Amino acid sequence: MDETSGASVTSGTTEPYGEVGVGPHPEPWPDDPRFDPELLRHGDRRNVVDRYRYWTREAIVADLDARRHPFHVAIENWQHDMNIGAVVRNANAFLAGEVHIIGRRRWNRRGAMVTDRYQHLRHHDTIEDFAGWARGEGLSVIGIDNLPGSVPLERVQLPRRCALLFGQEGPGLSGAARAACSMVCSITQFGSTRSINAGVASGIAMHTWIRQHADLPS
């Protein structure tokens, strides 16, 4: 998949309505090592915010690294869960420290919309491996699942340093995952469906952390 997917955001050169990105940069080009000469020459059609137009991928990642939040996101991947791409995309949007894939190493990247190029990913073979890593980093593991005994996310103050853990679509958090959690939070629902998918749940949980801890722009 290329990086031209996503909503149209334009700046600089005026482009036809609906076309993603910007065209070639007018000369003289900016004298800044963050800019990619090929993008300056041919235009930047990637799905990135205007701040990063014409920047190299390495420069974008370095800038994001300077601002990443201290929460992490983890998801179990025992059955090639299709939601993982959406989880990665949400993690990029809310600037999570890392995304942790637990179980199968391969996952469907389509839903990530190429944001995995800018988001740090880490693989763990087992829940126990992930839990040991989290303890070593001083991160509280917070499960997100509508399970008996779970605490409503809407009434919880999330730890600033934490890892939000999601289970497979369908079965939810495995028994081993539940055992690794210091707390399990549920997302309050009002309709007839039993659950929402991990992609949606991850966005809600991450935004809860953002509302509680992030330095929001004035």
Q: 138 with 92, same domain?
A: yes
Which of 12, 39, 65 terminates a domain? The answer is 65
199 lies in the same domain as 120 = yes
What pTM did the predictor assign? 0.90
CA 179 to chain centre: 24
Q: Identify the domain containing residue 2 by its residue range.
A: 1-65
Residue 198 lies in a domain: yes
Cα–Cα–Cα angle for 207, 182, 118, nearest 5°?
Answer: 40
Instruction: Kindly state whether residue 141 falls inside one of the protein's structural domains.
Output: yes
CATH number, residue 116? 3.40.1280.10
- 56 and 87, same domain (yes or no): no
**Whether residue 141 is found in the same domain as residue 169:** yes
The predicted structure's pLDDT at residue 13:
42
Cα torsion 79, 71, 181, 104 to 10°: value is 20
Last residue of a domain, one of 42, 65, 88: 65
Q: Residue 3: what pLDDT? A: 62
Mark 156-189 as b/e (b = at least 16 C-beta within 10 Å): eebbebbbbbbbbbeebbbeebbebbeebbbbee
| Cβ-based neighbour number of residue 23 at 10 Å | 15
**17 is a domain residue:** yes
Q: 82 and 162 in one domain?
A: yes
Structural domains in the chain (count) = 2
Task: Provide the pLDDT for residue 18.
Answer: 61
Residue 49 lies in a domain: yes
Domain assignment present for 218: no
Alpha carbon dihedral 214, 75, 173, 130, in 10-degree steps, equals -90
Residue at 206 is within a domain: yes
Q: Residue-wise pLDDT tens for the chain (218 aa)?
A: 456 544 333 334 444 456 789 999 999 999 999 999 999 999 999 999 999 999 999 999 999 999 999 999 999 999 877 899 999 999 999 999 999 999 999 999 999 999 999 999 999 999 999 999 999 999 999 999 999 999 999 999 999 999 999 998 888 999 999 999 999 999 999 999 888 999 999 999 999 999 999 999 87
Select from 50, 65, 80 the last residue of a domain: 65
Could you give the CA distance from residue 198 to residue 87 in angstroms, rounded to a whole number?
Answer: 7
Return the pLDDT at 89: 98
